[in-house]
Structure 1
Amino acid sequence: MKQETLLKVSGLKMHFDAGKGKTVKAVDGISFHIKEGETFGLVGESGCGKSTTGRVLLRLYEPTEGGVQYRGKHIHKLTEAESFRYNRKIQMIFQDPYASLNPRLTVRDILLEPMEIHGLYGGRKGRLEKVDELLESVGLNRAFANRYPHEFSGGQRQRIGIARALALEPEFIVADEPISALDVSVQAQVVNLLKKLQKEKGLTFLFIAHDLSMVKHISDRIGVMYLGHMVEITASSRLYQEPLHPYTQALLSAIPIPDPDIEDKRKRIILKGELPSPINPPSGCVFRTRCPAAMSICTAKKPVLKEAEEGHYVACHLYDGEVKKEDDEMEVTLQTR
């Protein structure tokens, strides 16, 4: 059965005024799509524009340029009635489980609030039954409904956050680094819970993270961002086996392998220099100032995201068919894991 495209992002730019005539190019022309029922992982260093992208999808920001279509409709051109339905169908799981829950409300009231706003489940009785159902669906006892957020651990709070996201029966969830603030042992539990809920409820996820080792286990496809640009998109398994972009290769080389023999022999790719400022990004390819395979064309021309192999897209001049060896001394060797 062919999966339908649920969400499509085209040439999205999100720029912010930094004052004194300067502009922060947080997201600078990215395009990707997410199919119904899949998990699309979005990874990259802090400050690359991942969370900003998620906030645009939630309509918290009006994009500077480009657009987002949800089931074929532009999300920033919806009528008031369509906007109300969209706000129900797309929800968010926040990064910080300690800051994302109102400390003055009980868990019951936290879960009831969105239901009451949207007038769901018939009335008070139906909503209270839904609260119990939600708590059990995320692995919490229904008796916890009377407690306040400060009475829970970080992992339990994140489960409450997940339950709140599910309260409106959404189709699409933006998970903004939902496990980065949790202990490693709890991270696996939350990821397994999300996979279980996805299977049961047919959910679609945008899973934002900077930990590639964890993204591998939950994502069907992965997009890699660098300084506001999308540099590579492919299936999760292929990205880890055959990373094409030098930046992706460097990220993957930093993941430790639990085999001392392999770990000792493999080569770690250390990127030189500092991450450029999104206020004044490099000309041409934004990664060229740190790239071990940079060429003269990288300074003059910005690479476009193209299909290098079937289903494998990369924005790099090494794969665009336009690179010619201009002198015998230039030898580009991709470093692989």
Structure 2
Amino acid sequence: MDTLRGLGEISMGSRLKRISEYLMRETQIVYDTFSINFDPYLFPTFKIIKNRNGVTNTEINNCLRTTQPATTQTINKLLKKNLITYKEHEIDKRKKVFYLSEEGKKLVKEVTPIWESIEFIIKKYTGFESQSLIEHLNILEAQFEEKSFSKAIIEDIRMKDFKDTINIVQYNNKYSNHFYELNIEWLKTFFYVEPFDEEVLSNPEKYIIDKKGYIFFAKLNDAIVGTVALMPKDGVYELTKMAVSPKHRGYKIGQKLMQHCIDFAKNLELEKLILYSNTVLENAIYIYRKYGFIEIPVEKDSPYKRSNIKMELKLTPLKS
């Protein structure tokens, strides 16, 4: 039993301290994994010096609202690691102006992709609604228990290294279970499974392939990580059944699948594509519009009960 969690709001300070210490330990694991010789506790001061390109001890102290001894101690550690250097202040010779050293600039190039992944995972782990801060902390720590902060960051960094090696492959019946499982997981996460979904997903050859439709898969090494379909419907093709595995979301795999479908449709000299969605999926709608889809009326006999928006993309054939 987590006694600290059971104490509720009165334990707020201790909870925040525990989470802070956990994040620092986990971030250090990430640095060590990628052979980055850096201490996460030095980050705020180092980042200010990097951003300001010439800043005094007092200015750093005022920015961070820490004690002068604490700021001085951090600066001394950065100096000892040869990550920063300093010059005398042009007017007040008693003051020192701190800059990144050449070693510090080199570190920035190495560590920036890691910082980007740390920021991405923090947003992913904290981007949910709650009724109070203590409830937010409860959910946050539950996520850490499910997958550690360091593991999530390391996976994100390695995924970025692999994203350019993702290949789009056409349907093969050996992938039919992936088509079903990826889509069912997505539907259960964001909506619910309708009878029409179950029927189509269980029989992709009958409802899509045999009707001259197409199914594509995003393949990372030997793993299927995403799928999408172009399904014939009333003389046009519907872009549908797009799903990406949970651990691979956030790497634009869905956009890569969609672009492949658009290019494929242009090669077929199709005039347009349609899709059905729901406005609660704000990010998805934003991406559809980014690719040129525009909203059109939803017919009364729409095959999807959850759909409240229909979109269309007029196609221009690719130049040969």
Regarding TM over 0.5, the answer is no
Q: Considering fraction of residues, name the structure with more helix.
A: 2
TM-score by length of 1: 0.25
TM-score by length of 2: 0.26
